[in-house]
A and B are shown apart, each in its own frame.
Chain A
Amino acid sequence: MSRWQGVVLSLIGLTATIWLGLSGQLALYIHPRYFVFTVIMAVIAGVLALAAFAFAPTAQDGHEHGDEHEHGDEPGSRWGWLWPVGSVLTIIAAVVALLILPPSTLTTATVAQRDLNGSASALTLKAPALPGKGDYSAFTVRDWASLLRSGAGQDFFADKTATVTGFVSADKTDPNVFFVTRFVVTCCAVDAQPIGVPVYHPGWQNEYKTDSWVTVTSSFRANPNAASREAIVLIPDSIKPTTQPAQPYVY
């Protein structure tokens, strides 16, 4: 068993990777720039793993350095039995995590864990930041959050309409406000930073669950609650529930 642990774990990992690639869900875990590299290495490893099965050592090979020598640093020690148990547990954990659990985005638990809009690098406008003729339709959650953070005044936002899609996460300080939230990913989900645009909508808790996806179209107003941390908010007439987009993270 433990002889094949590495190859079997590789097969689990690469099957899951290739399936994620084929079903277009790799973006849940890694940045798109790694897609090609990841899939190519998975295929190469698949060929090598299959070859490992084809060239499996014969009984004579196994005889000399049999399984009893394979368990860690001190073969035959009192804790020797832990190794095969650990091997099996690792394989079970890998099967559950990579093959059985449905792929999933990060949730509001991680938004709470990581400071929302606390990341300077996630909130930088890309090069052609401000369109000359006021066409803001292509602006994303990230663009608007960056503008809000940059400290542009109320005058600047007065005539602008935003359409943003994201999932709902609560404002920790103001119960009337929720954030349309996205994660910014620079490499993989591990480094995801939450960003969001504040929406003023008293009683939102009764209509929308946190973690559900919504599209909000609205203009910006001053927050009616002057004590709130968010001075400028969206005050929408309507909020449309929507489904999670194919690319849930922004880059």
Chain B
Amino acid sequence: MPAVDKREQPEREHGSPSRAFTSKSAAGLIVGLALIALFAVVRVLAPSTPEVFGLPNAARDFATLSISVVVESLPFVFLGIVLSIAVQVWLPEGMLLRRLPRSPVLRRLVLSLLGMLLPVCECGNVPLARGLVVKGLTVAESMTFLFAAPILNPVTIVTTAQAFGWDNGILASRVLGGFFIANLVGWIYSRHPRPGELLTARFQETCSLADHHDGDAGRVRRSVQMFSQETRAMMPALFVGAGMAGLIQVAVSREVLVALGSNPVWSVLALMLLAFVVAICSNVDAFFILSFGATFMPGGIVAFLVFGPMIDVKMLALMRTTFTAKTLLQLSLLVALCAAVLGLAVNYGH
């Protein structure tokens, strides 16, 4: 659906007879229900034993891993979209942004703590960040939020503390490192002369057409339109990202990664590569990497825990809805460099 253009809407709503509108809605609703019924029937009638298709094990596991990424991320993406709709449509104009401090540095500091209020992992933060940009957040500020929120987030902090405890420095390095990198990235991009160029053309269009005058009657309609607009951007990215994550997991041998784990430099690089590949949510990645705790040096684990929530295959696919490919390449290199420095510092400082 194209970006919402409200100018002609009130006219049509009052102009057209309400009965025509109702029958049109009913028709749309029936189409939607028919689709759900169709999908449900297909699902119920499909064969229920895996052997029917005679797929080799590797193909089955590729499907299982990819589906698992989708099923796991889907509710968080929906939650992010709902939050984004709430911020854009239902929050009083400027309520969030007006309360931020004036100084750019302080604004970014506060924004990077916003994740404390929103226990959503990184997949849910992308739609929310898009909503905040439409509301008037600068591009650099949205990056700071996007990179800080999945790490400075109560669920992530609690699971990391459960996995590694409070006293060995991994939790502190993760939280402080993530906070610092997010603000550094924000500061660097705040100096960009034409920040609009960092965004994709389609997302710029969304921003420029976004409606800033609220008509009460149109809010529900706008929420619904935003839902289909955001799902159109997010869903293909999520499905493609999940497919890539599944494929890479089946194809790349983990033994190679583990062999690299005991070297202070290679452990950092290998675990960053692993973080990029497995694309696990920040809420639970600490448990996952704990299983490598015996083989990898702590700096590698910190690099994994800082780099993974910011950049991985799934996140790149999701962020591509908003940022240009060139921007994402720069961001990936910048964040990777910072995470590597942080990991090496932990390894050699130990």
Contact = CB atoms under 8 A, between A and B. Distances in A.
Contact of B236 (A5, A48, A110, A113): A5
Interface string B22-37: 0011101101110110
Given A11-B36, A58-B24, A102-B52, A97 B58 contact: no
B318 interface: no
B280 A187 contact: yes
Nearest to A83: B236
B72 interface: yes
A101 interface: yes
A69 B1 CA distance: 10
B235 interface: yes
Interface string B202-237: 100100000000000000110111011111111110
B70 A109 contact: no
A135 interface: no
B240 interface: yes
Chain B interface secondary structure, helix, strand, loop or mixed? Answer: helix
A3 interface: yes
Q: Output the residue of B1, B52, B202 with the most chain A CB within 10 A.
A: B1
Given A38-B71, A55-B224, A61 B236 contact: no
Contact of A110 (B61, B278, B291): B61
B32 A90 contact: no
Interface stretch (A26-34, A151-159, A225-233): A26-34
Interface stretch (B40-48, B178-186, B337-345): B40-48
B287 interface: yes
B200 interface: yes
Q: 9 tightest A-B contacts by CB?
A: A65-B2, A6-B232, A6-B231, A53-B32, A41-B75, A119-B291, A109-B57, A187-B284, A189-B68
Interface in A127-153: none
A95 B66 CA distance: 13
B69 interface: yes
B3 interface: yes
B293 interface: yes
Interface in B111-147: none
A121 B43 contact: no
A109 B61 CA distance: 7
A181 interface: no
Nearest to A8: B35
A121 B160 CA distance: 13
A192 B287 CA distance: 11
B234 to A, nearest CB: 7
Nearest to B20: A58
Nearest to A119: B291
A159 B52 CA distance: 44
A236 interface: no
Contacts, number: 257
Q: How large is the interface on A (under 10, 10 to 19, 20 to 34, 35 or more residues)?
A: 35 or more
Interface stretch (A70-78, A198-206, A216-224): A70-78
Nearest to B11: A60
Given A48-B227, A121-B293, A60 B70 contact: no
B28 A90 contact: no
Nearest to B246: A190
A66 to B, nearest CB: 8
A224 B231 CA distance: 60
Contact of B71 (A17, A54, A100): A17
7 contacts: A5-B232, A5-B236, A7-B228, A55-B221, A94-B239, A119-B291, A188-B72
A117 B284 CA distance: 20
B50 interface: yes
B69 A90 contact: no
B110 interface: no
A189 B65 contact: yes
Contacts of B231: 6-7, 9-10, 49
Contact of B253 (A55, A60, A103, A113): A113
A18 B236 CA distance: 20
A61 to B, nearest CB: 7
